[in-house]
Amino acid sequence: MSINHIIRQWALDENFLYGRMSFICGPRQIGKTTLAQNHLELIKQSENYHNWDSLSLRQKFASNSFFFIENMSLPLSRENKLPIGERQWVVFDEIHKYPRWKNILKGYYDEWKNNINFVITGSARLDYLRHSGDSLVGRYFLFRMNPLHPHDLTAFILDQDSAWHPKVPQIPFDLPDKSFQDATTKLYNISGFPEPVRVGTRAFYERWKNNHISLITSEDIRDLSRIIHVQKLQTLVFLLPERVGSPLSLNKLKSILGCAHASIKNWLEALKKVYLVFDIAPYAASLTRSVRKEHKYYFWDWGLLEDSGKRFENFIAVQLQRAVSAWNEWGKGDYQLMYVRTKDGREVDFIITEKDKPYLLIECKMNEKNLAPNLKYFKNRMKVPIAFQVINKPGYLKQVDRGTFIVGLDRFLKILP
C-alpha cells in the first residue's frame, strides 16, 4: 500500500504559496522528510535537499553561505523574477537546530524569493521556536502534517474549490469503494504513522511504539523544556490513555503523581509541544451551565489505546483535527475543534465552530444505530446546522432528521480532507 500525503497538493503548490516559504511541521516520524524528498524527486531536483543535521553540510555553510546554489541546474539571477513553474525548489530540513536560523532564512528568502521556492521541514522545535521573536512574519505559510487519512493511501486528487467544509450545506455522502474501506480499517487497527502502516502488522507497531515514545519523552522533551522529573512525566503519559475522551482533572492527577498542579500543567504543555498529545477546549459561548475549564486530551497516535471505544473516539478526534487544519490552511475559515458539556453531565464528543459559531456536532458511538439523546438535545438547543453520529459500520448512512445523520466511519471520513 503506497502512501501519498495529500498535503503535498497545497503545501508544495507554487500557486498556493504565492511566493512564500512553506514551513511543514508535525509529529516526529510522520513523513515530513519523505514528503519533501519525494517532491524534489518528482520534479528532478533531488540535489536540492539539505539536512542541517549533517556535519558536512554545516562545514559547507561555514565556507560558503550560499552553498545550495552550487548544485542548481539553472543559472539564477537576483534581478530577474522567474515565472511560476520555472523556479527551483530548495528544502532545508532541521535548519531550526542551527544558531541564528531565522536570520539566515530571512537573508536567503529576501535575496532569492523571485527564483527559489524554499521548503522548511522540522518537528516540534520548528513550530515552537518560530514564535520567539519572529523575524520571518509575512515570509512563510505554516502547514501541519497530521497522521494519515485513507485519502493518503488511495491516490486521492483534491479539488479545494469543491471540497466540503462545515459551512457548505450540501454534504457529498459518496459510498467509499473497497480500497478506501480497507485503508480505513488498516489505519484504525494500527496507527496513523507511515512506517507501521507500511509494515502492516500490530506486532511491528508495538515495537515501533516503544521506541517512538522513548524518543519523544527523552530527546524531544529535553530539547524543548527544562523538565527535570522525566520519569514522572513518563508516568503521566501512561496515565493518560484511560482518561482519553473525558475532561481531564489536574487535581486528580496531582494526588496520583504527588506533585504540584503547576508541574502537571507544564508537563502537559510539553507533551503538546512534542506532538504526543493535543487538547480540545469546552465550548461555552451560547450555553449556560456549561463546563468551562477542563480540557479533553487525545493522542496523535491512536494506536496507543487498547480500549476499542476510546481508540474509536481518539481516531475520529485526530481526523477532525486534521480536517480543521486543512480548512484553515485553505482559507475556508477560522475553524476550531472543541467539545460541549454541561455541568449536569450532558455531553457531545465534538463540536466544530467557526469564529465561535457552531456548525457541526459529532458523537462517536461505535455500534449504536439509535440516535444519542444528547446529540439531538444540543443540536436543537444550540441550533447547530449539522449533526453526525459516527458508528463503526462500513457504508452505513441514515438520515434521522433534517441535518442529522447516523453515518459509518468510512463514509464520514470520505467527506474530510
Helix (H) or strand (E) holding 416: none
Check if the beta carbon of residue 40 is closer than 8 Å to that of residue 157: no
Does 292 have pLDDT greater than 90?
Answer: no
Per-residue model confidence as pLDDT tens digits over 31-40: 999 999 999 9
Given this model, what pLDDT does residue 233 score?
A: 84
DSSP H/E element including 178: helix 178-189
- At 362 the pLDDT is 98
149-188, pLDDT tens digit by residue? 999 999 999 999 999 999 999 999 999 999 999 999 999 9
Q: What is the pLDDT of residue 390?
A: 98
pLDDT for the residue numbered 286: 63
Task: Report which of 398, 353, 11, 317 is spatially closest to residue 165, judged by C-alpha positions.
Answer: 353
Residue 289 scores a pLDDT above 60: no
What is the chain's mean pLDDT, rounded? Answer: 92
Domain boundaries, the chain: 8-145, 178-414
pLDDT value at position 84?
84
Q: How confident is the model at residue 97 (pLDDT cuts 50, 70, 90)?
A: confident
**C-alpha R_g of the chain:** 22
Spell out the alpha helix ranges (H) of 26-156. 32-42, 55-63, 101-112, 124-129
User: pLDDT band at 82, cuts 50/70/90?
Assistant: confident
Three cell numbers, residue 315: 481516531
Distance in angstroms between the alpha carbons of the first and the last residue of the chain: 19
| Prediction pTM value | 0.94
- Which stretches does DSSP call E strand in 324-396? 335-341, 347-354, 357-366, 386-391
Counting residues of the chain whose pLDDT is more than 70, the rounded percentage is 93
Rounded-to-integer distance, Cα 397 and Cα 299, Å: 28
CA neighbours within 13 Å on the CB side: how many for 231? 1
Q: In the 3-class helix/strand/coil scheme, how is 181-217 assigned residue by residue?
A: HHHHHHHHHCCCCHHHHHHCCHHHHHHHHHHHHHHHH
State the pLDDT at residue 81: 82
Q: What is the pLDDT of residue 30?
A: 97
pLDDT at 73: 66
pLDDT band at 147, cuts 50/70/90? Answer: very high
408: enclosing H helix or E strand = strand 404-408
Q: Which of 331, 307, 302, 335 is nearest to 319 (CA)?
A: 302
At residue 96, the pLDDT reads 87
The third-level CATH classification (topology) of the domain covering 8-145 is Rossmann fold (3.40.50)
Q: Rounded CA gap, 295 and 280, in Å?
A: 6
Mean pLDDT of 32-49: 96
**Residue 87: C-alpha distances to residues 33, 37, 77, 82 (Å):** 21, 17, 11, 6
Burial code (b: 16+ CB inside 10 Å, e: under 16) for 180-205 equals bbbbbebbbebbbbbbbbeeeeeeeb
**Angstrom distances, CA of residue 86 to CA of 9, 44, 45, 79, 150:** 18, 12, 12, 15, 32
- Take residue 3 and report the three cell numbers written for it: 502512501
pLDDT at 353: 97
How does pLDDT run across 3-20, given as a tens digit for each residue?
999 999 999 999 999 999
Question: pLDDT class for 258, splitting at 50, 70, 90?
Answer: confident
- Per-residue pLDDT band for 83 (boundaries 50, 70, 90) equals confident
Report the SS3 class of residue 31: coil
Q: Is the dihedral of CA 153, 159, 162, 164 positive or negative?
A: positive
Confidence category of residue 129, pLDDT binned at 50, 70, 90: low
pLDDT at site 86: 86
Q: How far apart are CA 73 and CA 82, in angstroms?
A: 14
State residue 59's pLDDT score. Answer: 95
Give the pLDDT confidence of 316-344 residue by residue, as tens digits.
Answer: 999 999 999 999 999 999 999 999 999 88
Cα 22 to Cα 1: distance, rounded to the nearest angstrom: 28
